[in-house]
Every structure is written in C-alpha cells, then in structure tokens.
Amino acid sequence: MRFLNLLYRFLLIALLPFLLFAACRPKTRLIKSPAHYNFSKKEEFKLDLQIREISGITWDGKNDYYLAVNDEFGKLYFLTEDKKAILTAPYSFGGAGDYEDVAVINGVPFILRSDGRITQLLKDTSGIGYSVKSEKINLSGSNDFETLYYDPDRKALIMMCKNCAADDKNTVSAFAYYPDLTGFDNKPVFTIDATEVAKLSPFKASKLQPSAAAVHPVLHKLFILSSASSQLVVADLNGKVEAVYELGKKLFPQPEGITFRKDGTMLISNEGITSKGTVLQFPFDSAKGGSTNSGALPYNFTSPDEKMDLGKHLHEISGMAYIPERDLILTENDEKGDIFTIDFKNKNDKVDKEKFGGKGDYEDIVYTDTAIYMLVATGSIVQVDTKDSSFNTKEFVLPGEKNEFETLYLDKDRKSLIMLCKECAHEKKTDIRVAYQFDLTTHTFNPAPAYTIDIKEIQKMLGDDKADFKPSTAGINPVNGKLYIVASVGKLLVVADKNTGKPEQVFRLDPVMYNQPEGMTFAPNGDLFISNEGGEGIATILRFSFKKK
C-alpha cells in the first residue's frame, strides 16, 4: 500500500507542470460564420493609402463600380470591381469632416456625416460634375451616426444611431430619410433591442454600436456591423434581431463598411490601423438552404426561353394577366391607374393604354371575359368594366385590420379571385400566410380563409429556418393545375396544392435574373411569364416554355 502511495505522489509531481500548462493556456473559441458564408473562404484586397481610413463602401449596380468614403475628407472615391484601384480621381463634395458611410439609389450617391447630415450628389448638366444637396436630421441632444443604407421596400435611406441622446443602454434607434418625398422622419422608423443582441451573442461584448449595415439582396435580411463590439447582427428589416456572430479581430480589425452584390456576395471593409485599409470579399453559398426536392418542374428557371425589356412607362410593372383570345398580356404600373397591353411575341409594349382611375398602389391584375380586376395593396379589389369603352369601376374592400397584399389570381373552379397576404396584420405573430376568396358571382368576400400556407413547412423544405416568404404574385398552371407562387422578398418560387395551399416544391430564385419579380401569368399551353420591376435597371418579362415530361 505504501508503495502505491509513493507511486501516486511521483506521478502527480511528474504531471503537475503539464496540468498547470493546460490550465493556464488561453481557451480557443470557434468563431461561427453566418449562414451561407464561410469566413475562412475570403478574398482580401488592400486599398490605396488615400482611403486608409475607409469608413463606408457600397456597390453601385447601375454603374458597375464601388463607392467609398474616407472618414476625414469630403471626397467620394470610385473603385474598380477588383477593389485594388481607384477608378477616377475622387470627387470633392465638402471640406474636412467626419464622413461615416455612403449609400446609392439608382446611381445617385448619398454620404452620411456623423452628426446626421446626408449629402446627395446629382450629376449636373455636364454629366461630369455634381450638384450637391445637403440636409440634417433635427434631433435634440448629442447624436452620433456611422451607418447609412438603402431600404428598397421603404424606398428610404436608413441611418442607425451609434450613440444618440434618445437611446438608453437597451436601445438602438434607426431613422428614415425619404429623398423624393418628405425628407427626414424625426421619429424612429424602428428600434433594435440591444439586450436581445447581448442574449444571442456567442461572447460577452459591449453594447451594439452600429458602424455599417446593408440589406441582403437574396435573403432580404439586414446585416449590421458593430466595430466597437466586434459583432455582426442579422435582423429583419424592422430591426428584430435573429442572429449574432463574432467578428474576430485578426480578420476584422476595424470593420466600418458592408455592401452586397446582387448575387449575395458580401464585402466588408476595414479601416487601416497600422497599414493599408482592406476589403474582404465572401462568396454567397446558396446551396446552404437552396432548393428542394420531390420531382423536377416543367420549367428551367435558370434559363428563360425569351426575355423582353420594357420601357420606362412600365418600370414599376407589378402584375400581368394573359388574354387567350388575343395572345396578348395586360399589365399595370403600380403607381398609376393605367392598364397597358403588351404583345410579347413581337416585343411591343405599347399596343394599347387605357386609364381606369387615379394614382394608387395597384399590385396585381386579373382578366376575365367580362371585366378586369385590379388589386390595391390595402386589400381592395377594383372591378373595371370592359363591356364598353366607358371603363366604369367598382371597388370592393376586404374588411379587417391593416393588411398588405400583392397577389391576386383567378381560380376558375371556385369561380373566384384569390388574394394572398404579403404580410397582413393578424399574421405578424404567426408563421402563416392567409388567402382570401372573392366570389365573382356575388361580388362578396368569404370571411373564412380560402387556405393558409405554413411558412415553417417551406423553411423545413429549404433547410433554412430563417427563410422569408412574402408572396408578390401567383397563378394556377392551366396544364397541371398546380398553384405557383413567387415571393420577391425571400426570392422563392413555391409550387403548392391550389385548394389547400400545402407547399409541394420550393426553389431559390437567382437574384440577378429575378431582381424584383412582381408579376406572373400563364398562356393556355402552360408557358409561364414572370415580370421584374426595373429597380436600378430595366424592367423585364421572362418567358419559360412548358416542357412536357
């Protein structure tokens, strides 16, 4: 027994240095990458010393270059696609200052100063220089901003507080600037719960202090950087936090800018601390949560059979309806009370134009033998009588709370129109999308849902529990009787049972090809047409031939 005790003591003394070393060795923490990205797979670009203190970056899809600002000088820099070179001489728009971020709307740059001043640069008549317009938000107290991004749904620039007088330790406010309308809204457009960020953070950090943000073009989520707390926050467009990731100091020493290309490629810029500033590029992996599944579709959605570019009068095309007896397409612009007729076969988008009403938010259109029906975003259906040239109208309103619709289609078997919520008030605390039935015989709404779609079922089929689904257009395939639904927000195409709404197949849509799919219609032979609003480019209609198995 004494021998065993001596042996035990000997082994303990021999192992003691190793145990002490293991106890003192710093713990390693695995840094998790956000969904669809891998922080270990990157391209790094070192920047010219002129923009060593790069404080904001954005991709200008209209002009195919990057815009960047240095936080000490009133200069706008234009970078080539490879980020290595300055494309042209920088444009001086102001004196020395604290310029924190840059955003772009349809080729027009907007620069944010830390005190809440936004400077807009419009090309002058020469096409070389700019005219400068500047406005500052009117808030009480001391305020500090570093984040500016464009929200296409709100059609507004959003700037987020780094430190604002109105915020406490638990809140981060965001304010909207509407360039073409009212300018600044001095009430927060949304508020981020900083305690939720702390709760979801994989490590203990200081309060969220946004240094940059951008809307993801594919996932339709808000990506927020916080250089001070070394965090990347993913939220919905109303600031509801969904995930938090660590930005390791070695890779992200001072992340001050973020932007996305249309395909989801993410770029994060770092100010240079001891050397040059950098831009890190991360490819988007759509395969993580890509598509399903149970059989091939009779269409190849990666390659349309035909494409038609539309004129400016249909830049905001929001719905389509096929006229079988004329082999033409009816469509509308979502802001004007006009109905346009398109000859897709001969690529003529000015066959006819009829005015039925004033300005409004018209989201979809349905053609029948006796009338045309227009959907208003709030849930009204406008009947346009086509029996004579008078184009008399009647409006039918869905009763209920605040609603948002973009989808209206004809269900011949039910002798009804079906309206599908994009996001209705009663859905906000649920995981469903509700469809409503408008009887074409009685011209009344059925108060009971025609069907509901389970969003979680779509997420499960994709393997992505954060996938968004906000329908923008739908239609019943006349050949196979399946319901096809496109969601511009989320970039999804769902094939479902037309009676129950049960999803059968789900597919991711390429955000470059489907930049803003808002309209859909079928020809009698099953050929499918999908329209894209113009956004920062040109509105289009894509035709996909029905392929029999």
Return the CATH number at 490: 2.120.10.30
* Interacting residues of 336 by C-beta distance below 8 A, sequence separation 6+: 359, 360, 362
366 and 227 in one domain? no
Number of folded domains in the chain?
Answer: 2
Paired strand residues for 244: 233
Task: Give the position of tokens 């305690």.
Answer: 195
pLDDT value, residue 22: 47
Paired strand residues for 235: 222, 241
Q: Confirm whether 156 is domain-assigned.
A: yes
End residue of a domain, out of 235, 250, 282: 282
447 and 387 in one domain? yes
pLDDT value, residue 131: 83
Long-range contacts, stretch 375-382, CB < 8 angstroms, 24+ apart: 375/319, 375/405, 375/406, 375/407, 375/408, 375/419, 376/405, 377/404, 377/405, 377/406, 378/402, 378/403, 378/404, 378/405, 379/403, 379/405, 379/419, 381/408, 381/417, 381/419, 381/438, 382/356, 382/357
389 and 484 in one domain? yes
Residue from 403, 382, 398 nearest 338 by CA: 382
* Interacting residues of 366 by C-beta distance below 8 A, sequence separation 6+: 321, 372, 373, 375, 408, 409, 410, 417
Q: Confirm whether 301 is domain-assigned.
A: no
488 and 423 in one domain? yes
End residue of a domain, out of 282, 317, 333: 282
89 and 221 in one domain? yes
Residue-by-residue pLDDT tens, the chain, 549 positions: 554 454 455 555 555 555 444 455 544 456 789 988 999 889 999 998 889 999 999 999 888 899 999 988 899 999 988 777 788 889 998 888 899 999 999 899 999 999 999 999 988 776 667 888 899 999 999 999 999 999 988 889 999 999 999 999 999 999 999 997 789 999 999 999 999 999 999 999 999 999 999 999 878 889 999 999 999 999 989 999 989 999 999 999 999 999 999 888 999 999 997 789 999 999 988 655 445 544 567 898 888 999 999 999 999 999 999 999 999 999 998 778 889 999 999 999 999 998 888 788 899 999 998 899 999 999 999 999 887 777 789 999 988 777 899 999 999 999 999 999 998 888 777 889 999 999 999 999 998 999 999 999 999 888 888 888 999 999 999 999 999 999 998 899 999 999 999 999 999 888 888 989 999 999 999 999 999 999 878 999 999 999 876
pLDDT value, residue 328: 97
Q: Are 446 and 439 in contact (CB under 8 A)?
A: yes
For 182, 495, 524, the CA distances from 478, given in Å and listed in that order, are: 45, 14, 6
327 and 264 in one domain? no
497 and 416 in one domain? yes
pLDDT value, residue 295: 53
429 and 380 in one domain? yes
Q: How many CB atoms lie within 10 A of CB 157?
A: 23
pLDDT value, residue 152: 87
Q: Confirm whether 27 is domain-assigned.
A: no
Alpha carbons within 13 angstroms on the beta-carbon side of residue 480 total 16
Q: Are 365 and 353 in contact (CB under 8 A)?
A: no
End residue of a domain, out of 221, 249, 282: 282
Task: Give the position of tokens 């849509």.
Answer: 509
Alpha carbons 441 and 415: distance in angstroms, whole number = 7
* Interacting residues of 103 by C-beta distance below 8 A, sequence separation 6+: 58, 109, 110, 112, 148, 149, 150, 157
Q: Confirm whether 24 is domain-assigned.
A: no
Q: Are strands 255-260 and 241-246 parallel, antiparallel or unpaired?
A: unpaired
Q: Are 403 and 380 in contact (CB under 8 A)?
A: no
Q: Confirm whether 549 is domain-assigned.
A: no
pTM greater than 0.75 (yes/no):
no
Alpha carbons 346 and 421: distance in angstroms, whole number = 34
pLDDT value, residue 452: 95
pLDDT value, residue 286: 65
Alpha carbons 159 and 189: distance in angstroms, whole number = 10
Task: Give the position of tokens 């790069």.
Answer: 54
Q: Confirm whether 8 is domain-assigned.
A: no
441 and 351 in one domain? yes
pLDDT value, residue 69: 95
Spell out the alpha helix ranges (H) of 127-212.
194-200
Q: Confirm whether 293 is domain-assigned.
A: no
Q: Confirm whether 416 is domain-assigned.
A: yes
484 and 534 in one domain? yes
519 and 436 in one domain? yes
Alpha carbons 471 and 415: distance in angstroms, whole number = 22
> Structural domain of residue 98, as residue ranges?
43-282
CB burial class (10 A; 0-12, 13-18, 19+) of residue 429? exposed
321 and 264 in one domain? no
